[in-house]
Structure 1
């Protein structure tokens, strides 16, 4: 385990990550302990965790109301669950299943964690029925502190992740056009992949923050990434359009600078000026450039106008229906439902056990079970090993500290330092070390003896909990990363089928741009999820093969989206309908083969050669050439899937 303790940048990053959640904990712990009682001190750690979750929100003011009322609701049912053994059995079973299922996001599987942590932690120190209002008041106070810290540390708009990504996108596009202006025939794959990564990260942040209005920038960047490739396919155009590319590069620099200042009028003026003064030498590409720049004007006009009327009128063009995107059927094949049932069963049994037997510090059993019970088997297995190792390290550290420091004040100091350190490290073993110090410090708060007994119980209950979690994850509705990755691949293939269907619809006079945008958006989300579910033991070559498939498949999806736009804006006489339909038919066959390849493993019927597909263009127009590119990229995706299929470890 290599930790760069002596790296100044590392120390700065560590302090920056830990400072705000540590402040929240330091403020809340003594106040909760003194004014609301020891029953409510565990509100502090999950509120600090909520800060980490909410700091990524684009607009804190519009994102805090729902979590607040959800915490109040959880506070009520968790308090009631702790009143009797029967309550613990029933409420943890039903509540654990329902809360886990509803709060686990398909594309962000850990989204349930801070809320379920509240549900579990509030039961660790149960309260009486008459003190439930006091607990709700403690939650309200704690959430107010959380909100104030968020407002101080997260200035509106300027430092939000999504705006930083948009600015990175503008700079990437500017650099691409600057390179073209020099007439250099270079490999653009690195720049294109960087912009692809920016778009994918934007998709993720947009989805998590529910700010779909920013998705228009993803669409814009996707098209700009495509158009530079179109230019490179016609290298004879480079010399004739050097000045055009130079001015276009400067335009995106200006857009980036003015976007930082929210100077939307300046941006719109600059784009209009460029459209008046500049023209690309190749007519079809010029029309495409004009289309994209006019689309950019629409985006900035939208951001300029803050009136409710304008928002309502333009929402259909810039917003994504997140409920439709996140639709997931209630089925045992859903990892969410399988995980929720497993969580509900284990929470119900563990809390019922500790309420019935009243063993000292036995609340550590449901707490550790919750912390180790992950949606997927591989994650739980890895975390269980790290948890045991970190617990041993934490116990050794606590033994030394508590031998020297025995007072309540010293315990609070240890808790504070542990809080800072446990938000500093991404490594789960070190994190567990400091969590152990934190937990033992909380558990012995106000006590003057019995520290070593608590340490022994910590080790005992951790061991028992690890064994329970490993058994449950293996034998109770097991989820494996490979199963989920397989589902994601089939869904990506299905998305491309739907994109091809939209091309047919356009030829029949029906164009649904919102559907096309949603499909591209969903493709990026699923691609990000595939990397989450990749085998953590894979080597660099296997990871490269996975990324190659993701990149090729997303390129195919965006090219199909690109073709749908071209078909919708191109005059009918320039469209060779027979050629388009013939290529669509070939793409459909390739998509069928992709599904067959992954279903049957390495044994498959080879419909096409490994080389580039040969196509004859009856009309050498831009829209037909792009249709040919879609066909070529579909074979690239097929070949990438073949390589991925051979490299995946099928630990069934």
Structure 2
């Protein structure tokens, strides 16, 4: 009872907070509702949901001019495709198979699973109520009108409210942030908050780089910057997270001076704009590398690896002109296509389920000449989620909320004062819906109330309620079957695939390192692999964190070992990229890379027999020895899984 009373006392504050956060979306929806109703008629208010969804998803994010252009053009293209899908059953099946696959491959990944949602909802909603050829020009004009209205609405909100910063500014600000963190660590030593900030910053840049990937891995210099900055934070994060390494580094008398030197250089990089200044900074960094007198150990490795990263950043200044455009090689295109079309790929598994659900439900809706059959694909689209667990959750919460919404309309509708009352009640319901979290049982109460109230303009109230429940039951049955039998994405299964992916990425990375010893390799390829590894590792670690302690202990050791191994691999690759290896180190490193590439995916017992004895004494050999020590630790952790 005490918990209930506390919840009731806190409800007004919670509601006000939700209403304040949702107010821009609510206002934008109501404004469009009034304008579209007056200019085009009630039949075309379906287009409002599409533009409002894009506004809801994008109004708190940074939107570049290209983002605005893309939202506008893609919305119009999807309107044309949605109309084509309503022309005949063949186009209905083909487009509902093809469009969801393209949108998921283009906008979604296991790290941004709902990236497809805004554009996919536009396509699905615009084909729910097929227009006649005579009605389509009006529908297209209404879509064009809402798409045009969306752009100034986003721009105005960006000026009036805080939003995500411009990525270019974020890159420069992050250098100052790292400089201050290193200064703090030099003075205060161990700092849990600094450790978390370094790790979070590295993950943020990995995600920013990953989100800029293209369908066919087209070159992208901005993505390269994100990867380089992620690695810069990763170097610092690796040092302070490994307790033994951090203790060893802090005990070195040169520790404060090293941290201050790196802080100063990073600040200079942030402040320098002209090529001459960057060239001078690069010379200073190279001189520090040439006369570094630190003894072998973790502080030396950290110091030199950060200096190597600063060299790379001096060579790729943020203000430099873009390099000539280069088409990706056949090898890169085939690698990207093969990875995406694999049954292990998150994108392929989800895209296939979404395509089947939409093609079946939309085809049934197209062929079944009955009232409001479009509620069937609508429910199916909203019930199907990227993860099996979230879909299963929605198949419980949505029927509960829908039933309550039906009851609410049944009780309230008789007391609504005519057509004005219907519109006022509908707008109140949609406003409350935008205040709720999608996926909860509360959200469908208001969406159902809105849909049913508007449906009563064409059908009797009781019939509308019965149809709503019937189509929901059909959608639940369809999604249950598809999720059960067509490449389900359970979280435990995805975790197993992630573990396999971590081993595979290490193997691939060693293959690329071996190739880079023989011929120039585009640094973007290294960056892509690094980003992919750290994103997968982060997701796997999040899954382990929610396991019971006794079950997660073995996995935790495995994940930490894998992270240490890849961090050592990153630093060895950095030596290759910056030309820091001697001639005597090339051949033995190539042999070691070939052996590791073959034995890491899947991990084999023969890993324990590998040594770094062929490498001459020096920094590279120390890194390779630590890497191989971790492979042996990895083999001992595997049986406990």
Instruction: Determine if the TM-score, normalized by the shorter chain, exceeds 0.5.
Output: yes
Change (3 A) 1:588 1:31: same
Aligned residue pairs, count = 609
For 1:622, the equivalent position in structure 2 comes to: 619
Change (3 A) 1:354 1:607: closer
For 1:600, the equivalent position in structure 2 comes to: none
Secondary structure of 1:130 counterpart: coil
For 1:235, the equivalent position in structure 2 comes to: 249
Confirm whether residue 64 of structure 1 aligns to residue 68 of structure 2: yes
Deviation at 1:428, TM superposition (A): 1.2
For 1:650, the equivalent position in structure 2 comes to: none
Secondary structure of 1:239 counterpart: coil
- Deviations for 1:447-481, whole angstroms, at most 9, x for unmatched residues? 7x843442343233222321222123223555544
For 1:135, the equivalent position in structure 2 comes to: 139
Q: Give the one of 481, 499, 504 matched to 1:471.
A: 481
- Deviations for 1:258-300, whole angstroms, at most 9, x for unmatched residues? 6xxxx8469968994995898965286665444333334445x
Segment drifting more, 480-489 vs 162-171: 162-171
- Cα distance between partner residues in 2 of 1:400 and 1:271: 77
- Cα distance between partner residues in 2 of 1:252 and 1:12: 44
Q: Give the one of 26, 47, 61 matched to 2:30.
A: 26
- Cα distance between partner residues in 1 of 2:134 and 2:545: 48
Q: Conserved in 2, the CA contact under 8 Å of 1:68 and 1:143?
A: yes
Structure 2 gaps, min length 5? 214-221
Deviation at 1:236, TM superposition (A): 7.0
For 2:219, the equivalent position in structure 1 comes to: none
For 1:409, the equivalent position in structure 2 comes to: 420
Q: Conserved in 2, the CA contact under 8 Å of 1:223 and 1:292?
A: no
Deviation at 1:27, TM superposition (A): 1.6
Correspondence list, 1:504-519, <5 A: 504-508=514-518, 512-519=522-529
Could you state the TM-score of these two structures normalised by the residue count of structure 2? Answer: 0.79
For 1:119, the equivalent position in structure 2 comes to: 123
Secondary structure of 1:393 counterpart: helix
Deviation at 1:200, TM superposition (A): 2.4
- Cα distance between partner residues in 1 of 2:373 and 2:62: 40
Deviation at 1:546, TM superposition (A): 6.0
- Cα distance between partner residues in 2 of 1:45 and 1:162: 29
Q: Conserved in 2, the CA contact under 8 Å of 1:505 and 1:511?
A: yes
Q: Give the one of 217, 221, 245 matched to 2:233.
A: 221
Q: Give the one of 180, 204, 209 matched to 2:207.
A: 204
Q: Conserved in 1, the CA contact under 8 Å of 2:40 and 2:142?
A: yes
Over the residues paired in the alignment, what is the CA RMSD in angstroms?
4.5
- Cα distance between partner residues in 2 of 1:390 and 1:462: 11
For 1:294, the equivalent position in structure 2 comes to: 311
Deviation at 1:368, TM superposition (A): 0.7
Q: Conserved in 2, the CA contact under 8 Å of 1:92 and 1:344?
A: no
Q: Conserved in 2, the CA contact under 8 Å of 1:527 and 1:550?
A: yes
For 2:375, the equivalent position in structure 1 comes to: 364
Deviation at 1:61, TM superposition (A): 0.9
- Cα distance between partner residues in 2 of 1:111 and 1:355: 27
Correspondence list, 1:580-599, <5 A: 580=589, 584=593, 587-588=596-597, 591-592=600-601, 594=603
Change (3 A) 1:121 1:546: farther
Deviation at 1:96, TM superposition (A): 0.9
Q: Conserved in 2, the CA contact under 8 Å of 1:171 and 1:252?
A: yes
- Cα distance between partner residues in 2 of 1:158 and 1:99: 31
Structure 1 gaps, min length 5? 597-604, 647-652
Correspondence list, 1:44-443, <5 A: 44-55=48-59, 58-82=62-86, 87=88, 89-105=89-105, 107=109, 108-154=112-158, 159-160=164-165, 162=167, 166=171, 169-170=174-175, 173-174=178-179, 176-182=181-187, 184=189, 186=190, 191-192=194-195, 194-209=197-212, 211-212=222-223, 213-226=225-238, 232=246, 234-235=248-249, 238-246=252-260, 248-249=262-263, 264=273, 272=281, 275=284, 281-282=293-294, 288-299=305-316, 302-305=317-320, 310-312=321-323, 328=339, 330=341, 336-337=347-348, 339-426=350-437, 428-429=439-440, 430-443=442-455
Confirm whether residue 632 of structure 1 aligns to residue 629 of structure 2: yes
- Cα distance between partner residues in 2 of 1:539 and 1:425: 31
- Cα distance between partner residues in 2 of 1:274 and 1:404: 80
